[in-house]
Chains A and B, each alone.
Chain A
Amino acid sequence: MSEIDTQRRQFLKTSAGAAAIAIAPGMMLYQTAQGDTQAASSTVRWGMLIDTAQCKEGCNDCVSACNKENGLSGKTGATDSQWIRKIEIKDVSSGRALSLPMMCQHCEHPPCVDVCPTQASFKRADGIVLVDRHLCIGCRYCMMACPYKARSFVHETLTDQNPDVPRGKGTVEACSLCVHRIDKGQKPACAEACQNKAILFGDLNDANSDIYKKVRSVASVQIRADLQLNPGVRYQGL
């Protein structure tokens, strides 16, 4: 090895060390500044299991809790936003009637995300399907693509929105699984409000969670499972 080569190697070693020392405190600072503000993790898959036997006909607690939490008007006209709605279904031949809540099903392969021309519709790492209203141009393709009719368009100018839930005219919106509450470690408003505990919320990937155990022990179905969208919301006793 020549004299120059050795020097060069030594120089590189020293400068790499110096760079590491220079960068390390910066990384430490970055981590401290972040504090407990972690990014959504892809190891988590948020989901819900809805027990239709516990969901009472005529009860609207989940819907009103959602409206209050997210600042919706609560009206049900063609141009009003509904993030969650109650559906009454009846089997004509047997006469068996059921009542169940319907909202964004937070699909693993969401058609609303596929069709969005601006990438405003997106799926967060933890499986929550959201609209980035900064990018939404209000074209409403996602509303057409959604098999669950889960999305609404804001037609009128809004005022005095909830600071945690910004929403405004000209954009599409839907159940966000109360993402602002989840990020604080709370349950969605509907799950918390349900007196009959018909809505079980949790991490479908966490082997210790109630929802993980229940999904594996009782029969439950996904609505329109034939579309193979793998929704995060499952229904028991449908």
Chain B
Amino acid sequence: MRLLVSLLLCLCIPQVWAAEANAPKLDVGKGGECVKDTQWMRKNHMHVLKHQRDETVRKGIRVEQDALKNCVECHASTSDNSVTAREDSFCVGCHRYAAVKIDCFECHASKRKQALANKDVK
């Protein structure tokens, strides 16, 4: 029995390490933790966004903290102000790794408001 457990452990631990090593290196921008902790957000951000979008569009309840606009403000890269511009950008990097198509930014702005405002001036 003890042998079996140790064998299992030996098999599992490298797997965990490997998963961490393969995980995408993301440009998290300014980052921070304003809604929930990182691990929770990795798993559940889509539910928060979907709930928020229906509340906002249909009822007019605008919770700043849960707004996609607010996510972009902090998580856009500090170099190009975008969450989608590069392979390692905050949204794209992870979605590519997970092979999940992301279509939020076909309509929503993927850049900081400030960056878009500056572009208009030029």
Contact = CB atoms under 8 A, between A and B. Distances in A.
Interface of A: 33-34, 37-40, 122, 124-126, 130, 132-134, 157-158, 160-164, 166-169, 171, 179, 183
Interface stretch (B1-9, B16-24, B38-46, B104-112): B104-112
A168 B106 contact: yes
Interface residues of B, number: 21
B109 A39 contact: no
Nearest to A163: B109
Contact of A163 (B54, B55, B63, B116): B116
Interface in B95-109: 106-109
A124 B119 contact: no
Per DSSP, chain B at the interface is helix
B92 interface: no
Contacts of B14: none
B108 A163 contact: yes
A126 B60 contact: yes
Nearest to A164: B69
Contacts of B62: 37, 183
Contact of A183 (B53, B60, B109): B60
B25 interface: no
Given A134-B53, A160-B119, A163-B113, A168 B107 contact: yes
Nearest to A38: B61
Given A160-B116, A164-B69, A125 B106 contact: no
B57 interface: yes
Given A134-B57, A162-B116, A168-B107, 18 more contacts: A33-B63, A34-B61, A37-B61, A37-B62, A39-B55, A39-B59, A39-B61, A40-B59, A40-B60, A134-B54, A160-B109, A160-B111, A160-B116, A161-B107, A161-B109, A163-B111, A166-B108, A169-B106
